[in-house]
Amino acid sequence: MLRAMKLMPLSEKREAIAQAARRIIDFVAARPDAVLGLATGGTMEPLYADLVAAHRAGLSFARLRTVNLDEYLGLAPEDPNSYHSYMARHFLDHVDLPPENAFIPRGDLEPMRAAAEYAGVLDRLGRIDLQLLGVGENGHIGFNEPGTPLDAPTRVVDLAPLTIASNARFFAPDREVPSRAVTMGTAAILSAQSILVLATGEAKREALATAFDGPISPECPASYLRLHPDCTVFADHAAGAGLMRLCA
Ligand code: GLP
C-alpha cells in the first residue's frame, strides 16, 4: 500500500492548527507572489485567525493570489452562508490581499457557466503552489464527493446527503443547505505543487483512517492524496486516533 502522505506527529487541536498555520505563514513569507489554494469549513476558522494575527504582526499577503476550493450554488457572494462571505469574515476583510487577487467560484451564476468560468480562472493562474485542504466526514476533498474519479475537472457537483447534513450546522434552521456546488476538481487539487491537510476532531477519524489505510479509491477521494508526492497532514489526537501508523 502506498503511503506517500506525510503525517505530522499528532497533537492537541490548537497545536495542530498552529502548526498548519505556521507552515502557511512560512510559505507566504518565502513565496509572497505564490498561488495559494484555500479551504473553508469549521476546521479552518482558527487557522485563518492565526493568519490574520500573522498579518497584524507584519506578514503581507499583498502579492499573493488565492483560489478557493468551492462554493455553494444558489448563494450570492453577499449571502452570509456563501463561502465568499466566510472568506471575507475570517480572512479577506482583515488582511492586505487585494480583492482582485482572491478567486472563489460564483454561486449565483448559471451553474455550468459558474464552473466554466472558475475552470478558466484556474487555467489562467496555472499550477497551485500550495493547497490547503480539509477532509469531509465522508472523505471528500473540496466538494469532490465519494465516487469522484482521480482526474475530475472543475465542475458542478451534487452534494452527498452526509455533507448536506454536516454542513447544516452553519445554516439558520429556516434555511435549506444548498444541494449543489461548484468545486475545483481532483485533477487541479492533485496537480498542486504541495498539499497541506488539516483534520481535527473525532468526526474526521474514520475518513482519515480510510484515507491513510484503506484502498486508494473513488469511495474516499482523500485517499488519492497518497498518490501526491508532497502532501503533509496535520491532525489532532481525536482525528488521528484510528490511524495504524502514528507519526511521520
Ligand atoms: C466543506 C468544504 C470542504 C471542507 C469540509 C470540512 O464541505 N467544502 O472543503 O473540507 O467542509 O468542513 P469542516 O471543517 O466544517 O468539518
Q: Give the domain range for residue 10.
A: 6-194+213-218+226-246
Question: Does 200 fall in a domain?
Answer: no
At 62-101, the pLDDT tens digits run 999 999 999 999 999 999 999 999 999 999 999 999 999 9
Cα 40 to middle of ligand 1, angstroms = 6
β-strands 35-38, 6-7 pairing: unpaired
The Cα–Cα gap between 232 and 139 comes to 16
- Residue 155 amino acid letter: R
Question: Does 22 fall in a domain?
Answer: yes
> Element (H or E) spanning 29, and its range?
helix 13-30
Pocket of ligand 1 (CB under 6 A): 39-43, 69-70, 134-136, 142-143, 163, 167
Residue closest by Cα to atom 10 of ligand 1: 134
Nine-digit cell string for 178 = 444548498
- Residue 151 amino acid letter: D
Total domains present in the chain: 1
Catalytic residue flag (residue 138)? yes
The Cα–Cα gap between 97 and 41 comes to 20
| CA 176 from centre of chain | 22
CATH number at residue 116: 3.40.50.1360
Is residue 24 within 8 Å of 36, Cβ to Cβ?
yes
Catalytic residue flag (residue 79)? no
Q: What are the backbone angles phi and psi of residue 88, rounded to the nearest 5°? A: -65, -50
At 108-163, the pLDDT tens digits run 999 999 999 999 999 999 999 999 999 999 999 999 999 999 999 999 999 999 99
